[in-house]
């Protein structure tokens, strides 16, 4: 699929953001009498407000900074000064000493310890981010945040963090943003909807934060986007591909292509390369991402003359992998499509094991994971996945060379997309270091910035102007499992 060039002369996001600015200006010109009346009302209703927010359970207004306050533990300290790591497992001694020094405000000592920690474990992006934050100390900086599901999906979170860390390191080693360094705040949303929304609430209430990279899943991004949009804080997801995100609002962008593009790439492979028209689809009805992939794959397949012979909801109480495969084969399925996430990783592994290579298996980008290689092994060989980017297709690029030097190995598409998201925010801040200015810059029809994958551009919807590419599982020596994903021709 060839990359598409933006041709729009009228950009809806830019127009809407300007309209929002005008409305805000008009509101600021209300008579002083109205302000006085508002104060009186607040005093009278203060008791009721306290009861609602401290006694009664319920949602809070997304456009009220007062109502949103205190929904999560304080954001202060997520630059490393809280003295704790958000990654699961035991913290290396040197890293913990660095965190202790950060908590004590001894930034010079923190730099020494974090540098030592990286010498011991160079591929820890959290340490590199905190080292760069320690170098900034209390000096002036532009601030962005990153939210990942660290306590639930540690490897995926590390992949995303490496992209942000690499962008921060590269930027701060040069001239920063117009001479000012970049600070990064880290958050663990645990992949939980309420947690993601609570983080969005706190970030929106922190005036220092000019943009957010995140969240990981489409579900968490959609939930948090409600707050970001209402509060006018730009968020760029590097990994959330559900088509619905295109309608999330003017402050919501992403650097990963939508499921529509990935589905079209997979369908072309099935029809044109494999010659398979009859498909059985496995999906999770509780996942917005899974439902999006299923819908787009079905639409593309039908438009190409193919047919979905079975749809299997893996969270259905009566679901069975063996029964599903028997039914699929009985109904003439020629190919299997796994529209699933890592949350349901056991199902894809079982499908691959029981399929015994009888039918070719396709999958969406969530299953591009070491867990698939390690658990699937021989059964995973031949699995074809659509991803936004693969390092073996870009071995001579500056991003890949720097990544190899920093982390001591290959990086994957999540790292590349997180890098691109960070660089897009940086370009927005460079253009206008205000929240509205960042969103306006990214929404401009001529916006472009160099990223890991080439120029980063957005459609009017905030979607990434970027194709997908296919990779396939083969035996290889680039991973500890003895299996790897390699690019194939679409």
pLDDT tier at 196 (50, 70, 90 boundaries)?
very high
What pLDDT was estimated at residue 57? 27
At the topology level, CATH places domain 1-256+393-458 in Rossmann fold (3.40.50)
Residues whose CB falls within 8 Å of the CB of residue 474, separated by 6 or more in sequence, listed in order: 381, 483, 484, 485, 486
What pLDDT was estimated at residue 16? 57
Report the alpha-carbon distance of residue 183 to residue 137 in Å, rounded: 10
Q: What is the mean pLDDT of residues 38-47?
A: 36
Report whether the peptide linkage leading into residue 302 is cis, meaning its omega lies within 30 degrees of zero.
Answer: no
Q: What is the pTM of this model?
A: 0.84
List pLDDT tens digits, range 410-452: 999 999 999 999 999 999 999 999 999 999 999 999 999 999 9
What pLDDT was estimated at residue 51? 29
What's the CATH number for 260-387+470-488? Answer: 3.40.50.2300
CA distances from 25 to 18, 20, 21, 28, 438 (A): 11, 9, 6, 5, 18
Can you give the residue ranges of every domain in the chain?
A: 1-256+393-458, 260-387+470-488
Q: What is the mean pLDDT of residues 260-271?
A: 96
List pLDDT tens digits, range 236-257: 999 999 999 999 999 999 999 9
Q: What is the mean pLDDT of the chain?
A: 87
What pLDDT was estimated at residue 13? 66
Do the domains spanning 1-256+393-458 and 260-387+470-488 agree at the CATH topology level? yes
Q: What is the mean pLDDT of residues 350-372?
A: 95
Q: How far is CA 111 from the centre of its chain?
A: 29
List pLDDT tens digits, range 285-317: 999 999 999 999 999 999 999 999 999 999 999
pLDDT at 111 over 60: yes
pLDDT tier at 77 (50, 70, 90 boundaries)?
low
Q: What is the mean pLDDT of residues 97-120?
A: 98
Q: How far is CA 443 from the centre of its chain?
A: 19
Q: Determine contact, residues 163/144, Cβ cutoff 8 Å.
A: no
Percentage of the chain beyond pLDDT 90 is 80
pLDDT tier at 343 (50, 70, 90 boundaries)?
confident
Q: What is the mean pLDDT of residues 18-36?
A: 39
């Amino acid at each position: 699929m060839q990359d598409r060039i933006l041709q729009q002369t009228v950009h809806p996001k830019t127009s809407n953001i300007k309209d929002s600015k005008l409305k805000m200006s008009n509101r600021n010109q209300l008579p002083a009498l109205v302000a006085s009346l508002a104060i009186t009302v607040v005093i009278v209703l203060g008791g009721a407000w306290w009861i609602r927010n401290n006694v009664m359970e319920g949602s809070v207004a997304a456009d009220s900074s007062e109502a949103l306050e205190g929904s999560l533990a304080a954001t202060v300290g997520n630059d490393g000064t809280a003295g704790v790591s958000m990654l699961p497992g035991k913290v290396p001694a040197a890293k913990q000493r660095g965190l202790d020094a950060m908590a004590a405000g001894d930034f010079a000592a923190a730099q020494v310890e974090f540098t030592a920690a990286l010498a011991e474990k160079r591929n820890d992006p959290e340490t590199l981010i905190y080292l760069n934050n320690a170098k900034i100390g209390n000096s002036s900086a532009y601030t962005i945040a990153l939210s990942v599901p660290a306590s639930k999906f540690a490897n995926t979170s590390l992949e995303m963090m490496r992209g942000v860390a690499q962008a921060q390191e590269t930027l701060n080693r040069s001239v920063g943003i117009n001479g000012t360094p970049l600070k990064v705040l880290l958050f663990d949303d645990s992949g939980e909807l309420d947690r993601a929304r609570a983080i969005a609430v706190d970030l929106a209430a922190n005036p220092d934060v000019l943009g957010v990279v995140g969240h990981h899943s489409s579900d968490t991004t959609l939930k948090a986007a409600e707050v970001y949009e209402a509060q006018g804080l730009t968020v760029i997801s590097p990994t959330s591909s559900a088509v619905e995100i295109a309608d999330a609002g003017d402050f919501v962008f992403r650097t990963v292509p939508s499921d529509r593009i990935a589905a079209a790439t997979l369908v072309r492979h099935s029809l044109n390369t494999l010659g398979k028209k009859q498909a059985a689809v496995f999906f999770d009805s509780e996942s917005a991402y899974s439902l999006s992939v299923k819908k787009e794959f079905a639409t593309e397949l039908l438009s190409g003359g193919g047919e979905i012979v079975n749809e299997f909801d893996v969270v259905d109480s009566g679901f069975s992998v063996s029964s599903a495969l028997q039914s699929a084969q009985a109904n003439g399925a020629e190919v299997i499509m796994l529209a699933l996430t890592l949350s349901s990783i056991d199902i894809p592994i079982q499908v691959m094991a029981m399929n015994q290579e009888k039918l070719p298996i396709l999958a969406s980008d969530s299953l591009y994971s070491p867990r698939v290689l390690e658990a699937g092994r021989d059964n995973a060989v031949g699995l074809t996945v659509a991803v936004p980017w693969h390092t073996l297709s870009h071995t001579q690029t500056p991003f890949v060379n720097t990544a190899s030097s920093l982390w001591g190995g290959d990086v994957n598409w999540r790292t590349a997309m997180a890098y691109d998201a960070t660089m897009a925010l940086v370009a927005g801040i460079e253009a206008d270091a205000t929240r509205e200015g960042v969103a306006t810059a990214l929404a401009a029809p001529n916006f472009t910035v160099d990223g890991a994958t080439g120029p980063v551009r957005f459609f009017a919807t905030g979607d990434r102007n970027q194709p997908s590419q296919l990779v396939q599982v083969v035996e290889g020596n680039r991973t500890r499992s003895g299996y790897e994903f390699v690019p194939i021709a679409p």
